[in-house]
Structure 1
Amino acid sequence: MKNFLFISIALIFLTGCEGFFGSKTDLSFIDAPEFQNRDVAYVPIQPIIENFLEPNDVIAGFDELIYVVDEGTQEIISLDQAGRELGRYTLPGVTRIMQDRQMNILAIGNFDTIINDNPYTLSTIYRLKLNSGSFYGIQYARVINKIVHPFYFKSSFSSVDAEVQFTSVDIMGDNKFYATRTGPRDNANQIGGPDDGIVLFDEDDEYVSNVFVSTNVGFFRDYFKSPSCITTQAKPRQSPSVSASSNFFVAMLSAEVPIKVQSIQFNETEFGSSYNVQLLSFTDTAEANDFLYRPGRFSNPTDMWMTGDGTNYLFVIDSEKDSLYQFTTTGFEGANPPPGSSEKKNIIASFGGNGQGATQFNNPTAVAYLDRIVYVADKGNGRLLRFKLTTDFD
């Protein structure tokens, strides 16, 4: 095993929204849930949005709409913030999506082709344009480009290339984007880098480079092991203040990796640029009771979302633990104490557990955040759940 530097690194029902962007919920109707004695907690917003077959991904778009990938029907579904369906678009094998600041959807799906008289299904990132003339919406989407593995970095093909899968995609403020991928070959010196890795593309979908990582024990071309998802700081709403940072968090599923969610910083100096593992505290109990970098913290982190509103939170979904976790981007678990609170540490607001209750999940696979609302794709229960922190109500 390689020597990586992995630093020993409530039940309340709320009235549904009204209007296109939703109305504020009156907290006077809220009673403290009997099963937990805490003032800072996520409470479910009703109604639960159901009638999905296998909701595998959810994002909040820069157009301030919510998009759900239903893997069971191979559709991308758009909703307004009140939960009303606006349209659908079918894309073969679609699993994950993200919207860039041009309002295009980047969607991971499949592309069927014939190579040397043999049929193959290849992992592909599709670019969908959502406007058609004066009309806008997912129902008007059309494919304007596609990135087919492996032809973005080479012209040759081997049958094992068909085993490589893109697993997630996320953008930066200038519309460049990262894509994570997994595959069977871990040869750090092969063309295009090892199959497990992160790839950087420019805003025109042109391959730029693979992401290689420097640590204080060396330089690694094969640092990322079974990366499942990536999240950057560039998140809605659309504004000049959208982060231009190239930093990101990545989640990895490999049993080799004790710290499964890690912060990667992009550094640029007069001597060149590099990606480096950020060292986050996992022992400062004066700040928090638990930490992102605690070894063994996660079992199967399938999705993450960094907030884009200055709150600097990171949400992590663990599908095996059926749980949603909240951290600061400095690695402390929990939400900041509310004004006037005697509590000095971050207050843990993570929750979950297997079931069908309003704060339970069954194989949750994705999380998103917009306007202080957290969205969770509860795949095993075929539904989209929404939550709001008690301290976030006006």
Structure 2
Amino acid sequence: MNISPAGFIETRLFLPLATCRPQGKLRRSTSLKLLSVACSALAPSALRGELKVARKIRESRRDGRSAAEENMIREELEALRAKVSCEAVLEQAGYEIDMKESTRRAVKYRRGGSIVIVTHDGRGWFDPLSDEKGDVFGLAMFLETIPFPTAAGAVASLVGFQLSRPEWRFSRSSRPPEDIAERWRIRRAPSPGSGAWRYLRWVRWIPPAIVRQAIRECVFREGPFGSMWAAHVDSHGCVVGWEERGPDWRGFSTGGSKVLFRLGPGDASRLCVTETAIDAMSLAALEGPRAGTLYLSTGGGWSPATDSALAALAIRPGLTLVAATDANTQGDVYAERLRALAEASGCDWQRLRPPAVDWNEVLQSREKEKQERKIEKKGGPAACAPAASREASPGMRRPLTRPDTRPATREGS
């Protein structure tokens, strides 16, 4: 080792040559690695420490969030997360709550075609139209496309922000949930006059024949307070969760998994995919008795288990995959996913778009029109049709499917 006039350390590496072997030059990368090792060994410990600090600084500068968290104590960040709800960020950004599609566990907000669903009592969120999700800081970054330091400042400015509506609060039981299969088993099936039966018949207008079919296939249970449970089953036919719908309640089973609600023959050659079990039954009622059709529901979401279950069904030869999702942005996104799945599986694809927002709304409009016509034939006073019924009536004069079994609204094949 020599010291140069400028004060730098000069090192020379002498490497023994292998005997009885052709000699050549060292590769440049190998020489640099050896030189780096030698310098690290010969340099003072202070110099090595400076190198480590410089490396950490460069890494923190590349990551805006890490640099901000160096200046803000972790406790302060946690306090902000606890004080500011994701709902406050959304409301400040001009989003409005969709009460019809919201539950206590998942509050849906809309702004134009954008949708954000708030979970975990306002502490988490996800975008159902993409893979984006996170906490309140991630939401601020996502909405405004800003770096973390700016997002942290925006969140801090919302401390004390009052929502336009009270936050939904509910207490969680400290007792662990019962086994899913056992909870399903101890519930009885709906029967004429029961709470679930009345809800399906007189609130959702599901025909008795469809309700009885679902009961025969063991995919219905009587829920509490007049609600009904619609089973989600896996590829083995085991109940892994259920949709919960009632006059004053909607949600999904605690601890359950969203896979697929299924109504119809398991060996069907036509799969109609909807977003809820109510819509699946409504479409079955609108189409009438149709052999070879399996009506499915994703439960309002699109989990990896749902995607896998649909992919397993779509590989059947001669299958037609029908995207019967809602007539809105989210429904169109799900329809495109089904199109991609059909193309990957090599099966036919159709888009069956409801003339109203969803198939249950279409069914209710049709059934109300039938009742009005009956009253008119009897000579009694005809009630004024509601706006939704008047709007849907022109489209309901022709059947949803033509005699050649093509859907009324068809895109692709």
TM more than 0.5 = no
Which TM class, normalised by the smaller chain length?
A: under 0.3
TM-score normalised per structure 1: 0.24
TM-score, length-normalised on structure 2?
0.23
Q: Which has the higher contact order (CA 8 A, sep 6+)?
A: 1
Larger helix fraction of residues = 2
